[in-house]
Structure 1
Amino acid sequence: MSRGIKALLIILGVVGVLALIITGVWLWFTRQAHPKTEGEIRLAGLLEPVEIVRDVNGVAHIYANNTEDLFFAEGYTHAQERFWQMEFQRRTAAGRLSELFGETTLETDRYLRHFGFRQSSEGAYALLDAETKKAIDAYARGVNAYIADRRPAQLGLEFAILGLQGTEWEIEPWTPIDSLSWGYMMIFDQGGSPSEDMSIANMIGALGSERFNDLFPAFRDNRPTIIESSELGYLGQSDTTPLSRLNDAELSYLLDLSRAVAAGAGDLPPLLAQTMTPYGAGSNSYAISGERTATGGAILANDPHMGVMMPALWYQVGMHCRTKSDACPYEFRGYSLPGVPGILIGHNDRIAWGLTNAAFDAEDVFIERINPDNPNQYEVNGEWVDMEIRREEIAVQGWDKPDVIFVRQTRNGVVASDSLVNASRFGADDEGTQPYALTYAWTGLEPVQTVRAVQLIIRSQNWDDFLAAAEFFEAGKQNLLYADVDGNIGYVMPGKVPVRAGGDGTIPVPGWNDEFIWTGFIPYEDAPRVFNPAQGFIVTANNPQVRAEDYPHFLGLSQDRGQRAQRITELILADTDLINLQDVQAIQTDNGSISALEVIPYLRQLTIDDPAVAAARDRLVGWSGQMHRDSAEAALYNIFWVRLINNTYNDELLPDYYPDGKDNTADSMYHILQDPQIGWWDDVRTADITETRDDILLRSLTEAHAEGITTLGEDMDAWKWGDLHTITFRNATLGSSGIGFIENIFNRGPLPTSGSESVPQKTCWNANNGFAVTCIPAMRQIIDLGNLDNSLMIHSVGQSGHPMHPHYDDLIETWRNLQYNPSNWSREAAEGGEHELLVLEPSGG
């Protein structure tokens, strides 16, 4: 062998060895945080052995002899799989992200410090009952048992990568306050932001009441409410005065005053905008009584529509006392929030429950008169009163000194114009002599007992237990749906809903007197509720709870316009046979658009000269309205829908007020389509032409056909809605790093996706921002109360938060293909397929 060949072989061998070493180092680096899920681990703090069975999908089923060990093991399991997510969440809630990320997240920290989630959580902890406190304390001990002897890089790949960039920190012990603080963040996520009232005020001021009502029409009489009025016979008539009943002088005064304080409404800080549930998201839940099902048992379905996240918001878990008793009263299965003990949605051995956003108005913006000689005083009924002031120090990586802010609070709420909305710290009247500030009133600004409610629901055994537990659900704005093994179904809307002295909270109002202040909350005994309604089912899809005229209290104007609720109701009623699980699956994953089928008939009478455009019209006229990802017609319709919105409204509106194409836009279009000459049809940019409805419909269809050819190709048969409507599961921190290699590690997608706005299988998108998916049914459950082993569950990505783990993304295709996994309620089912068993043993220490 020649000397050259020998040298080449040596070089190749060295390169091969180096490649193996690099591969080994990479595998170690990216997998060092993967947890042990089989075998035995001895831990201090346990009282007795605990078994954790992870089924084929990575779902943990925990078996323990006592309450403390059960929740200890849940905390341990959450930390194993999702500790980076938990760390990021607790720092977000506490306004402490800048300690890690520097000035980049300072705006977010300043914003969140105003809400005082940590302080409120400390107050909420003091209100917990003994059993709930036992659970949350044990959960924290379990988290700490896992993280105590591990370096940050051993807890998550995100820690390791940030460490390479020079970020250093010590992992602090987990506390019950950390869990409660994230609970507050979820409550905040489901609420309204301080800028919403300002946005409405600005829109009314810019458009006038008549045109504003065109864009945001009243709830239609033919759409279903959650509770039929026939079930509310014991209640009186509404005596509230909503915004629409303010006289012109009152409305003009309030709008002028709002503009004096702030020129516009602000957005959330960018990080929160990326990680929180987007505006216009929603949820569905429905319960069908045993009288209408094939098995005679009730069925409950739920699919909350949340922001697109990686890892998932949810962590599935089953938790079982080996022998259920007063000393260990738990046996449940469902969806937990990493960082919080128990489950939020799911079932126990007797009842099942689901949640959807109730969208009632629990937030107001007040305009405060400020003392010109003392900016920390405000007027109350002619007297200057001192504000409460809280000093907040925010540590910022790379800064020698902390950032300091002062959070001011009046009797009405936290001063929002300091940081929460896009406004000067002080506005002024026309003469420039009277300063004003905005305050934000919200029921979540004080200690609430929502976490206690959740723990009580988990332990509930019947409707009376459930109803009593729900009374503690003081903040979070949720519809609570119920079903039980005896075939019963029920619904209640808990929460602190303000009773106002005047107005309805839709736009900012004066706070310097008592004309608009909160005088209390709707009594819980008056909360909308129903048990075993005559129709045999209950549907909630963010639609109004009741018809306003049939209920004595004002709940708000922001509920969904009811397209999803109508479609689900129609599908239930259309099933003339007894309903089974397969029927409910078809309903839950239905992509049928009522809104599209209300628009398309107006295309029939169009005179179209272009044969290709006429053929495209004919395809739409014959289309079912199903927004499936493989549908050419769905692609065409949604391109047309965006063009129709642009051509109808946007020539007369400022960009800030362009309709977004969601449920309000669909109902607005429904109404104006009925008048072919209404002013909206005229394009103000064409001075010599007065367009009619048919002109705009034809223009929009022609443009949509041309855009489809440009984007999707000449052959319409090859068009697919999913080629436009894609989803990217993006990591909340490193998924938008701008470094492609890093993003590819943590993100998944883009992937074609079925669904659309205002369909049961809702996938959000915004007509002003393209067709990319911004919210999804983040989990789906179908609970068979006749046989819990038949129940079905799925969430969107995977159980693990570790990017290289097999269970990081293994649920995506099942979820995307509208399929389900068995819940594996019984231990036999959990261990029936491929599974892992981890035994936690007391160490005796």
Structure 2
Amino acid sequence: MGIVFRWLVRIASGLVLLTLAAVLLVYFLASQSLPDYDQTVKVDGLTAPVEVVRDTANVPHILGASDPDVFFGLGYAHAQDRLWQMTVLRRTAQGRLSEVFGARTVHIDKLLRRFDLYGLAHRSVQAQDDYTKEALRAYAAGVNARLAEINENALGRGAPEMFLFNAPVSPWQPGDSLAVIKLMSLQLSGHLEDEVLRARTSLMLDDQTRLADILPDVPGPGIAALPEYAALFPNLPRYAAGSSMPDTPISPFPKRGLAGASNAWSAAPTRSASGGTLLANDPHLGFTAPGIWYLARLELAKGGVIGATIPGIPAVMTGRSDRLGWGLTSSYLDDQDIHIEQLNPENPEEYLTPEGYKTFRSRPSIIEIKDEAPITLTLRWTENGPVLPGTHYDLGTITPPGHVASLSWTALSAQDTSMSASMALMNADTVRQAITAAELFMAPSQNLSLVDKDTIGMKLIGAMPHRAAKNQSRGRIPTPGWLAENRWQGRLPYADNPEFVAPAGGILGNTNNKIIDRPFPEHVSYEWGDTQRIHRWERLMQSREVHTRDSFIEAQLDTVSFTARSLLPLIGADLWYTGASAPEGTQERQRQIALNLLAEWNGEMNEHLPEPLIYAAWLRALQIRLIADELGPLAAEYKHVEPLFIERVYRDIDGASAWCNVRQSAPIETCTDMARMALDDALIWISEKYGGSLESLRWGDAHQATHDHPVLGSVPVLRFFVNIRQSTSGGDNTLLRGRTSGEGPDPFQNVHGAGYRGVYDFADPDSSVFITATGQSGHFLSRYYDDQAQLWRRGEYIPMSLDLDLAHAAAVGVTTLIPR
């Protein structure tokens, strides 16, 4: 027995030692790719030395003898910290993910090949101005200098992920940067999915007047009546089961409600306590680790520029110089239209046009798949745009037999000069110069908020499609592509893009709300990103005569939900204090406790409170009960609570209270009945999910920010090192926006919000501040991988200074790049 025991101890000890050795080996290999920030490197492609000074937050301050040399330094810095992220972005745009990740990403590659974003981006290089072409070439050379350094010095392949997903990394090219911009256009465009959902919902509803309830128009005039979708395509089934593409974390296709958001507001000197202009901006995107934003300072010939860049793109996308500040919010411009194309029954390679049948423009495309045989696609384009598969956003459910769907989209241009616009913006001195520079911007459409030392302004930038006045659906649902009135007629003049400069009130802002009301086709959109946050913003802005940097920060971090404060009195009107006494442990008692908590709540979505969780679960359960019988399986597509829908129902606008009655049941249910049953549903779900007393619940336990690594985030053990999870305040409709997932076992996880926050004060520019949600490095062994995450969660910021002496004073390293 003793011998057996001794051998078991030896075997166990051996296994422990082997495991320890394996861990040390993995650590050694992974740590080889950690960049050295304090060195001198000889590189090709430079005309003079470049200095990269890393401040205490690891923000690179890049100085060179010329602007191209500075962009070279930015490319080098991006590749030092985010090489894996850059290569994945490029592969995504190329439609080449499956070469690395295998069959699980084939559906992504197929669709990206059909869009041809990568080919269009490379053809757009020649459309840029000379300054931008030179910047793109220099940036690419900087990236390639880092690749050469990795290869020459065996620096762990540049990133830990490269060991797990070994694939050659080709040199960076100027067109690759433009491809990343086009990929951002894809992530920020949501009208395609909205059109499909509106069409599918129209087919499901017996009473078409109810379509305006579940997909409500933003209050205000200007919405024209639409034809029923079934009237445009009468042979479609009333309901067809969807066949959407598989969901993977690496997918660039946004889910409905997650196609982009943001906040920005500015104050003129007359509304600023210091007498200088103010600007706050926090663009919202899906959370990942690392985040999409990368902080940098560029010392250009016109002066210093500092703010948030996107790895792969040589420009500060939101930030400031010493003369100008700029920020971005999603405009929700309707820049996509689906067309249903009729095939020639005699020849499926032809489709109908206003001039008769024409042949698809087509070419083959081979997708290489890791560990599997390659597949060949036939890519087809019509005059309206690329032909899309029926699996994409369930297009097949609204496409009649003998037809295919195509897409018109402003990003599908080979003459896209958005990069040139970004370059000109960084070199602009005034609001007016910036607005002029932005005319070259095409996609993604944004609201550009601007301040110089004296003036504030906002301009919608991006190409606005010119639709015919007789367009059958006004761009809201798919239309027959063979009718001339449904086809785009070019681009509206840039002067037609909404513009606001030096308003009398001295305050400008956007929370993705409706900004203008113009008749079709000069309208901007019928689908807006928000109808709720704007009310809270108005109150905060107008509650002070003058503002400061700190009051703008306070607004960025505000967690009071206007939606909760407006909807709870409606849905609970007949429930407050009306229940009979009930013994402890009964459902009636739980309902009374919940209602008492909510009655005393001010709508603050604080992570430490129980009320936000009770409220969110109640509203979610209520919407499910209201729509489940009318929409059947399609109800699952409505993942987020639609506040205007709930309000319409409980105010009985145009008979919307009809949603409260369950059609399949004999009794006539009232809206009060539905509110009571939904509250019980929510409380049962909370009890099963979290247990304990209602008073002990924490919103932050459910509302965790999920900064997950898109590739390694689901790998056992590794996920504990690469994922960044945080308990957070805020919600779907607060200024501190934390958009919930709306699906799965954890529907209130915070998956989409402000990955970057910046506040710029032009009375004292160096007191400006910024922060990102994760950190500068994409290397999970780096101390800069998540060092900003807790600051971000607590609502703290780091200085945004152009003072080079401050950067040098406590630099964590200085990299000097010298010509070889």
Whether TM-score is above 0.5 comes out as yes
Q: Distance in 1 between matches of 2:682 and 2:100?
A: 47
Cα displacement (A) at 1:275: 4.6
The answer as to whether partners of 1:198 and 1:264 remain within 8 angstroms in 2 is no
Find the aligned partners of 1:819 and 1:505 in 2 and give their Cα distance. Answer: 42
Q: Decide which of 606, 610, 616 is 1:632's aligned counterpart.
A: 610
Please, which of 411, 434, 437 is the counterpart of residue 404 of structure 2?
437
* 1:319 matched residue in structure 2: 298
1:761 aligns with 2:736: yes
Q: How does 1:23-102 map to 2 (within 5 A)?
A: 24-102=24-102
- 8 Å contact from structure 2 (residues 188, 254) kept in 1: yes
In the alignment, structure 2 segments of 5+ residues that lack a partner are 1-6, 583-588
- Any conservation in 2 of the 1:254–1:508 contact (CA below 8 Å)? no
Matched, 1:284 2:257: no
Paired residues of 1:284 and 1:304 also in contact (CA < 8 A): yes
- Structure 2 counterparts to residues 433-512 of structure 1, below 5 A: 435-447=402-414, 448-486=416-454, 488-501=455-468, 502-503=471-472, 504-512=474-482
In 1, distance between residues paired with 2:512 and 2:763?
27
**Of 156, 176, 179, the match for 2:177:** 179
Q: Is the 8 A contact 1:627 1:634 kept in 2?
A: yes
Task: Encode CA deviations 1:818-844: one digit per residue, 9 max, x unaligned.
Answer: 22111233213323445322222222x
Residue in structure 2 matching 1:305, options 280, 284, 291: 284
Partner of 1:224: none
Match of 1:156 among 155, 159, 178: 159
Shift of 1:22: 5.3
What percent of counterpart residues are identical? Answer: 28
TM-score (norm 1): 0.88
> In 1, distance between residues paired with 2:193 and 2:639?
20
Equivalent position of 2:677 in the other structure: 699
- 1:823 has 2:800 as partner: yes
Aligned-residue CA RMSD (Å): 2.9
Alpha carbons of 1:178 and 1:264: their partners in 2 closer, same or farther (altered >3 Å)? farther
Cα deviation, residue 755, structure 1: 1.2
Instruction: State the secondary structure of the residue aligned to 1:519.
Output: coil
Answer yes or no: is the 8 Å Cα contact 2:296–2:309 preserved in 1.
yes
Q: CA deviation at 1:154?
A: 2.6
**Cα offset, 1:413, TM superposition:** 1.2
- 1:333-362 C-alpha deviation (Å, 9 max, x unpaired): 011111111211111121111111111111
User: Hey, what does 1:203 align to over in structure 2?
Assistant: 201
Give the Cα–Cα distance (whole angstroms) in 1 for the partners of residues 306 and 146 of structure 2: 23
Deviation, 1:183, is 1.1
Q: Residue 644 of structure 2 aligns to a residue in which SS?
A: helix
> 1:743 deviation in Å?
2.2
Please say which of residues 70-79 and 409-418 is displaced more in the overlay. 409-418
AA paired with 1:182? Answer: V
Which residue is 2:3 aligned to? none
For 1:247 and 1:279, how far apart are their aligned partners in 2?
23
User: 1:252: how far off?
Assistant: 4.1
What is aligned with 1:411? Answer: 383
Does the 8 Å CA contact 1:659/1:767 hold for their aligned counterparts? no
Counterpart among 323, 331, 354 of residue 381 in structure 1: 354
Aligned-residue offset at 1:218: 2.2
Which amino acid in the other structure matches residue 129 of structure 1?
A: D
Worse-superposed segment, 767-776 or 519-528: 767-776
In structure 1, what is the equivalent of residue 815 of structure 2?
A: 838
Distance 2:625 2:242 in 1: 26
What is the 5 A alignment of 1:358-757? 358-381=331-354, 383-399=356-372, 402-417=374-389, 420=392, 422=394, 435-447=402-414, 448-486=416-454, 488-501=455-468, 502-503=471-472, 504-548=474-518, 553-576=522-545, 578-602=546-570, 603-606=572-575, 607-609=578-580, 610=582, 611-658=589-636, 660=638, 662=640, 665-675=642-652, 678-687=657-666, 689-736=667-714, 739-749=715-725, 751-757=726-732
How far apart are 1:52 and its partner, in Å? 1.2
In the superposition, relative to structure 1, how do residues 426 and 717 fare at CA in structure 2: closer, same or farther (>3 Å)? closer
Judged with a 3 Å threshold, the aligned counterparts in structure 2 of structure 1 residues 255 and 629 are, in CA distance, closer, same or farther, namely: farther
User: 1:311 Cα shift?
Assistant: 1.0
In the alignment, the residues of structure 2 paired with residue 280 and residue 421 of structure 1 have an alpha-carbon distance, to the nearest angstrom, of 13
Distance (whole Å) between structure 2 residues aligned to residue 585 and residue 754 of structure 1: 15
Retained in 2: the 8 A contact 1:510–1:516? Answer: yes
Q: Are the equivalent residues in 2 in contact too, given 1:278–1:775 (CA < 8 A)?
A: no
**Paired residue secondary structure (2:522):** coil
The amino acid across from 1:724 in the alignment is: A
Q: State the shift of 1:615 in Å.
A: 3.5
Call closer, same or farther: CA 1:622–1:394 in 2, change over 3 Å.
Answer: same
Distance in structure 2 (CA, Å) of the matches to 1:299 and 1:426: 48
For 1:608, give the aligned amino acid.
Answer: G
CA displacement 1:14-33 (0-9 Å, x = unmatched) = 99998886565343112111
CA distance in 1: counterparts of 2:12 and 2:463, whole angstroms = 71
**More off after superposition, 196-205 vs 801-810:** 196-205
Question: 1:547 offset after TM fit, Å?
Answer: 1.9
Give how far 1:201 is off.
0.8
Q: Distance in 2 between matches of 1:93 and 1:319?
A: 27
Given the superposition, is the C-alpha separation of residues 832 and 571 from structure 1 closer, same or farther in structure 2, using an over 3 Å criterion?
farther
Cα contact 2:364–2:379 (8 A) shared by 1: yes
Q: Give the residue type in structure 1 aligned to 2:289.
A: M
2: CA distance, partners of 1:682 / 1:203: 19
TM-score, L = length of structure 2 = 0.91
Q: Which whole-Å deviations, capped at 9, do the CAs of 1:419-441 have from their partners, x for residues lacking one?
A: 74545699656xxxxx2222111
Q: Is contact 2:326-2:451 (8 Å) kept?
A: yes
Q: Evaluate the alpha carbon distance shift between residue 833 and residue 204 of structure 1 in structure 2; reply closer, same or farther with a 3 A threshold.
A: same
- C-alpha change, 1:733 and 1:16, in structure 2 (3 Å) is closer
Q: 1:16 to 1:648 in 2, by over 3 A?
A: closer
1:519-574 deviation line (CA, Å, top 9, x unaligned): 2222111110010111211111111220235x871222111242111211111101
